[in-house]
């Protein structure tokens, strides 16, 4: 009996379960607390969340926006992250999918001022470095603070990437 088909279905099932879990976390957890008390970085500085192999950076784009950069993303098939920003300076964020995750399913939640939640799941593992997403703000009144509050990376089987 050929088990490859079952393995592929199992992998797809795990990816769907992971996406549903990320989506539940994305929309079911409110705004994640008081953004003013948890924002620690600055839009003029990089903020990085690091694992042993892959990591995500938050880099200013120069126009008041942010680039979410993925580095050494080999084997990563799912990303869930939260960005906190200073809502007294930055408002109405828009998130655009980047080239590194082109073709992936992306869900965002910008409903709560001061917080952006993002979840991405891919059918195939990502590879290398690149832009995960770009964040622009409709209102930029000076230099605002922004930081990565949390980053979770998973592989194709739904296991955490160390």
88-110 pLDDT, tens digit per residue, is 999 999 999 999 999 999 999 99
pLDDT at 24 > cutoff 60: no
Q: Do the domain assignments include residue 85?
A: yes
Q: Do the domain assignments include residue 10?
A: yes
Long-range contacts at 40-44 (CB < 8 A, ≥ 24 apart): 40/145, 40/147, 41/145, 41/146, 41/147, 41/148, 42/143, 42/144, 42/145, 42/146, 43/85, 43/90, 43/143, 43/144, 43/145, 43/146, 44/143
Output the pTM of the full model: 0.72
Sequence-distant (≥ 6) Cβ neighbours of residue 129 within 8 angstroms? 69, 70, 71, 72, 73, 100
Domain that holds residue 139: 4-155
Q: Do the domain assignments include residue 48?
A: yes
Whole-number pLDDT of residue 59:
93
| Residue written as token pair 């992936």 | 104
Question: Between these two residues, 89 and 16, which has the higher pLDDT value?
Answer: 89
Whole-number pLDDT of residue 26:
47
Q: Do the domain assignments include residue 78?
A: yes
Number of domains in the chain: 1
CATH number of residue 94's parent domain: 2.60.40.680
């Amino acid at each position: 009996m050929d088990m490859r088909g079952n393995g592929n279905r199992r992998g797809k099932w795990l990816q769907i379960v992971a996406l549903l879990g990320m989506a539940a976390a994305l929309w079911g957890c409110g705004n994640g607390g008081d953004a003013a008390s948890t924002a620690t970085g600055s839009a003029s500085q990089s903020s990085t969340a690091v694992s042993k192999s892959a990591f995500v950076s938050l880099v200013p784009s120069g126009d008041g926006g942010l680039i979410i950069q993925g580095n050494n993303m080999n084997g990563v098939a799912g990303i869930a992250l939260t960005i906190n920003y200073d809502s007294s300076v930055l408002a109405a964020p828009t998130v655009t999918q980047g080239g590194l995750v082109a073709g992936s399913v992306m869900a965002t939640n910008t409903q709560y001022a001061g917080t952006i939640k993002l979840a991405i799941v891919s059918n195939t593992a990502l590879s290398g470095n690149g832009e995960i997403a770009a964040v622009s703000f409709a209102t930029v009144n000076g230099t605002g603070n922004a930081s990565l509050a949390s980053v979770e990376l998973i592989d194709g089987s739904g296991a955490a990437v160390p």
